Amino acid sequence: MSRDPEIRPAESAEALQEAMAEGFGFDWTADHVTHLARTLELERTRCVFDGAQMVGTCGAHSLRLTVPGGSLPTGGTTFITVRATHRRQGLLRAMMRAHLDDVREREEPLAVLWASESGIYGRFGYGSAALAYRGRIERAHGAFARPVEAAGQLRQIDVEEARKLLPPIYERVLPERPGHIARSEAWWESHLADPVWERDGASKFRYVLYEEAGEPRGFLQYRIQTRWHDSGVPNHILSVVELQSVDAVARAALWRYALDVDLVGTVIAWNLPADDSLPWLLADARRYRPSWRDGLWLRLMDVPVALEGRRWETEGRIVFALRDELCPWNEGTWELEAGPDGARCCPSQAEPELRLGAEELGTVYLGGDRFAALAGAGRIEGSTDAIRRADRLFRWHCAPWCPEVF
């Protein structure tokens, strides 16, 4: 593009879908538009136009994200594409500028996204903040070390019941796990919609509920991909879409169910928290094949509001110097004094004990990753003592995890 990009909201869901499908390289139908429109905030899109043609797409969801001990308004970046003819000319950079300005105007102290490739968003101050673990186990090796002592029952439910019974379970889990997103009715509608083009040859969603004395305490949402060996031996794949439970017993009961479905050869989960109990339930844990990838990326848009908006399990004080080229209002030296009763984060004249960039602060914010690991990679500077204190302070008792891509 020879002139400055013109950035404005998309005029319709259909126009956005058309340009986005081009950028991601898939064919779209009217059903895609219906699905997109469920959660679309058209006024928050920031698209690039070259004449009449939409050549760049960028959108945002107005989210509420669970952070350690609380939740904060959050701009959820989404729908990012640039048409292949217009790439590497600065269009993504221009859209991110417009998007970050919008998030700041709305006073959302955090911004989050899922990335198609892990090399893109660090430069925009986003850090990999919650990992997504993939787990795989052959059903033949699915025996548990100890029997599940579950007093409740499992019950298959259909999508109508899922619409009623899944949200209250999620509401109970939501505040406990940093990285979760509050789901509106429209988000549930989208989450359970199950369009055929998302099934990749597998079955529609199946739902199993774990109940005790009639009270729902956990659910498993999954698909089955039917497969038969040439010899006639069944070898189906059970893919866990989401497993949520209010306690460990419900979780174990649901895992037991997943590992006991006849004709299934392999159980795969595409996105589990780092501290999921499955490997510890198994009698032969070495047969479990975990691998991880980046999941939720997070950026602090307002450093004091974001840090004062989460909770802390121990007392601590740290002075750090932050680099944030794209959001210069965050730059400078900050003193964080935090403890179980809350935190105070103020500009400081003191000598910084740590030096880090916006990306690294985004990585450690939810309490999952370690200052020490980032320092070991040369990404945070500071004395061993300061790094250890920061690690103790930021740590949270459970791993951050985002159960859905948006």
Ligand X SMILES: CC(C)(COP(=O)(O)OP(=O)(O)OC[C@H]1O[C@@H](n2cnc3c(N)ncnc32)[C@H](O)[C@@H]1OP(=O)(O)O)[C@@H](O)C(=O)NCCC(=O)NCCS
CA distance 234 to 96: 48
Binders of ligand X in range 12-41 (CB under 6 A):
23-24
Which listed range, 29-37, 75-83, 178-186, 320-328, lies at the site for ligand X (CB under 6 A)?
75-83
CA distance 50 to 34: 26
Query: Contact between 82 and ligand X (CB under 6 A)?
Result: yes
Q: Note whether 131 and 274 are within 8 A (CB).
A: yes
Q: Which is nearer to ligand X, 5 or 152 (CB)?
A: 5
Q: How far is the CB of 264 from ligand X (least distance, A)?
A: 32
Site string for ligand X, 186-225 (x = CB under 6 A): ----------------------------------------
Which listed range, 6-14, 83-91, 190-198, 200-208, lies at the site for ligand X (CB under 6 A)?
83-91
What does the DSSP assignment read for 9-22? --S-HHHHHHHHHH
Q: How far is the CB of 45 from ligand X (least distance, A)?
A: 14
219 is catalytic: no
CA distance 326 to 96: 10
Q: What are phi and psi of 225, to 5 degrees?
A: -105, 120
170 is catalytic: no
Binders of ligand X in range 100-129 (CB under 6 A):
115-117, 119-120, 123
Best CA proximity match to 374, nearest among 396, 350, 352, 358:
358
Q: Which is nearer to ligand X, 120 or 182 (CB)?
A: 120
Q: Give me the catalytic one of 121, 205, 222, 257.
A: 121
Q: Which is nearer to ligand X, 79 or 320 (CB)?
A: 79
CA distances in angstroms from 310 to 122, 344, 352, 370, 372, listed in the order given: 22, 11, 22, 17, 21
Query: Contact between 293 and ligand X (CB under 6 A)?
Result: no
Query: Contact between 88 and ligand X (CB under 6 A)?
Result: yes
Q: Which is nearer to ligand X, 87 or 311 (CB)?
A: 87
Q: Which one of residues 91, 103, 296, 358 is an interface residue with ligand X (CB under 6 A)?
A: 91
What does the DSSP assignment read for 151-187? -SEEEEE-HHHHHHHHHHHHHHHGGGSTT-B---HHH
Best CA proximity match to 119, nearest among 366, 293, 313:
293
How many residues sit close enough to ligand X to count as binding (CB under 6 A)? 18
Best CA proximity match to 59, nearest among 114, 109, 128, 107:
114
Is 388 exposed, middle or buried (CB count within 10 Å of its CB: 0-12, 13-18, 19+)? Answer: middle
Query: Contact between 81 and ligand X (CB under 6 A)?
Result: yes
Q: Which is nearer to ligand X, 69 or 90 (CB)?
A: 90
Q: Which one of residues 8, 31, 43, 93 is an interface residue with ligand X (CB under 6 A)?
A: 93
Which listed range, 91-99, 101-109, 173-181, 392-400, lies at the site for ligand X (CB under 6 A)?
91-99
Q: Which residues bind ligand X (CB under 6 A)?
A: 23-24, 80-82, 87-93, 115-117, 119-120, 123
Query: Which of the residues are catalytic?
Result: 121, 406
